[in-house]
């Protein structure tokens, strides 16, 4: 009887481990695939190790500001941010960087998310390195190094949108309120007197900078020079390799589970469905505030999760290609070229405005503002002889007219720092920019060893 009970427990446990292996998890919870974590891992390895660490500050009282009003992360903990104070000529200038990290699009995903740093401040790093656009060194960040630089942590799962609650699961969908209370905090810290301000963000934070750009402008005095930057936030409503719409399905889940309809642009929702109004391509032309779009034409996250996710490629035909672009055949490359064409077409109306800026490089990467090697380094990616930091600076400070650059199609750009997810038979390895390789422990080996030990115990 004891053996049968133990076998049942073991079988159940092994099923859990198997699910974990498939999902890339190591915590025993069948969490969703997390491409954001993998990309973040790669990008963090590329950040300068000597970067200053900036401590986390929680917004005290955010759970009780106003009569019965709460401003909470998914699990009910306080939202937070990292602030590195400006100095010298930049003491009255403010840069707000909205953190990215995907979305939660169903109940299970949101429940898992609240046990991570993307849903709870309990799990957030107590200090973060400020690199790239957040660096305080002029040789790394020539235009914004001495500004007040803030990274607002992302813990709502809907790009700082939404204002509802799931009582049964104690899930707080308060992204819009987190945005509001954070902005009030920054205004009280001195942003109210800013002479210059830039709202920026990467990935889901890049989408958030699009969603909140005009709100940001309205919070500041008319005398403030206010602009917005979206890095890797141009998520397209694209067809995946199976002919489906994987990202649309994901976004529909986000909009539905977090009840975002009322928070989306009414200009858009007046003539389109709510899910369409979560896609930047349907929003950017209506933004009144000057906006700069920085994106790779072959965005790594969108390749992994929108164009060729496992659900659209159950046979794994695209696995090698989406791991390393050099493993793609001609028809797969053409599929990516069609995606690039869709992105360029989606930017047509936006690019006609003199106040807007563009930097669309034909690389296989994701966020480029916080990585020092892609933001401003000797060998950083370039378009028209300008690195990302130089192009953004020229646009923000009006040093040049028509700062809009769209790269020629792959493989013409030799300045790219591509993210490469390199899988080989002997070990699971991840490399970035063809310069880093990180061996990870093989989960299948864990299963074999544990199974052997369990069988020995039973015998």
| Model confidence pLDDT, tens digit, residues 351-385 | 999 999 999 999 999 999 999 999 999 999 999 99
* Cβ–Cβ under 8 Å, residues 314 and 248: no
Residue 27: pLDDT band (50, 70, 90) is very low
pLDDT at 439: 29
DSSP 272-286: S-TTGGGSGGGTGGG
Least confident of 116-130, 297-311, 415-429: 415-429
Cα dist from 297 to 249, 364, 394, whole Å: 22, 8, 21
The mean of the pLDDT values for the chain is 85
- Spot the catalytic one: 121, 203, 246, 306: 203
Q: Give CA–CA dist 308/245, Å, rounded.
A: 10
pLDDT confidence of residue 43:
55
Helix, strand, or coil (residue 107): helix
Task: Clarify whether 299 is annotated catalytic.
Answer: yes
Per-residue b or e along 427-459, where b marks 16 or more CB atoms closer than 10 Å to that residue's CB: ebebbbbeeeeeeeeebeeeeeeeeeebeeeee
Tracing tokens 């403030």 back to the chain, one arrives at 224
DSSP 175-224: HHHHHHHHHHHHHHTTGGG-SEEEEEEETHHHHHHHHTHHHHHHHS-TTS
Q: Which of 366, 373, 413, 431 is catalytic?
A: 366
Q: How far apart are CA 413 and CA 329, in angstroms?
A: 19
CB-CB neighbours of 100 under 10 Å: 28
Listed range (29-33, 142-146, 248-252, 404-408) with the worst mean pLDDT: 29-33
Q: Which helix (H) or strand (E) holds 382?
A: strand 382-383
Residue owning tokens 């235009």 = 143
CA 171 to each of CA 257, 285, 416, 454: distance values in angstroms, whole numbers, following the listed order? 11, 34, 41, 38
Annotated catalytic residue: which of 299, 313, 407, 413?
A: 299
pTM of the model: 0.85
* Comparison of pLDDT for 196 and 437, the residue scoring more: 196
Whether 203 is catalytic is yes
Give per-residue pLDDT as tens, 120-135. 999 999 999 999 999 9
- Is residue 313 annotated as a catalytic residue, yes or no? no
């Amino acid at each position: 009887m004891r053996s049968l009970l133990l076998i049942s427990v073991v079988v159940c446990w092994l099923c859990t481990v198997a699910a974990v292996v498939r999902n890339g998890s190591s915590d025993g919870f069948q969490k969703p695939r997390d491409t954001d974590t993998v990309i973040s891992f790669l990008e963090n390895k590329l950040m300068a190790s000597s970067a200053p660490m900036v401590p986390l500050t929680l917004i005290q009282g955010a759970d009780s500001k106003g009569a019965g009003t709460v401003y909470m992360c998914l699990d009910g903990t306080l939202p937070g941010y990292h602030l590195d104070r400006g100095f010298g000529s930049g003491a009255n200038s403010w840069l707000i960087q909205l953190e990215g990290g995907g979305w939660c699009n169903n109940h299970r995903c949101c429940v898992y998310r609240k046990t991570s740093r993307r849903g709870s401040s309990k799990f957030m790093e107590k200090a973060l390195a400020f690199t790239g656009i957040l660096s305080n060194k002029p040789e790394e960040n020539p235009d914004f190094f001495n500004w007040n630089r803030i990274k607002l942590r992302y813990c709502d799962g809907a790009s700082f949108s939404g204002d509802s609650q799931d009582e049964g699961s104690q899930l707080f969908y308060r992204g819009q309120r987190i945005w509001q209370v954070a902005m009030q905090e920054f205004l009280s810290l001195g942003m109210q007197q800013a002479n210059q301000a830039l709202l920026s963000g990467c990935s889901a934070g890049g989408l958030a900078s699009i969603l909140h750009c005009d709100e940001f402008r309205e919070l500041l005095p008319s005398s403030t020079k206010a602009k917005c930057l979206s890095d890797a936030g141009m998520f397209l409503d694209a067809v995946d390799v199976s002919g489906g719409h994987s990202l649309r399905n994901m976004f529909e889940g986000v909009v539905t589970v977090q009840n975002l309809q009322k928070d989306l642009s009414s200009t858009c929702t007046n003539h389109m469905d709510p899910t369409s109004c979560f896609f930047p391509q349907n929003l950017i032309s209506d933004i009144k505030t000057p906006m700069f779009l920085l994106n790779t034409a072959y965005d790594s996250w969108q390749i992994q999760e929108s164009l060729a996710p496992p659900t659209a490629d159950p046979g794994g035909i695209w696995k090698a290609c989406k791991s390393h672009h050099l493993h793609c055949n001609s028809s797969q490359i053409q599929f990516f070229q069609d995606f690039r064409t869709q992105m360029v077409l989606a930017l047509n109306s936006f690019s006609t405005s003199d106040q807007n800026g563009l930097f669309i490089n034909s690389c296989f990467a994701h966020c480029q503002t916080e990585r020092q090697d892609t933001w401003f380094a000797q060998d950083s990616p370039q378009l028209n002889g300008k690195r990302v930091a130089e192009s953004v600076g020229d646009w923000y400070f009006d040093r040049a007219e028509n700062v809009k650059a769209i790269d020629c199609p792959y493989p013409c750009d030799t300045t790219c720092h591509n993210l490469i997810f390199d899988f080989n038979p002997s070990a699971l390895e991840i490399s970035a920019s063809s310069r880093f390789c990180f061996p990870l422990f093989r989960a299948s080996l864990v299963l074999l060893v544990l199974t052997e030990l369990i069988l020995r115990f039973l015998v």
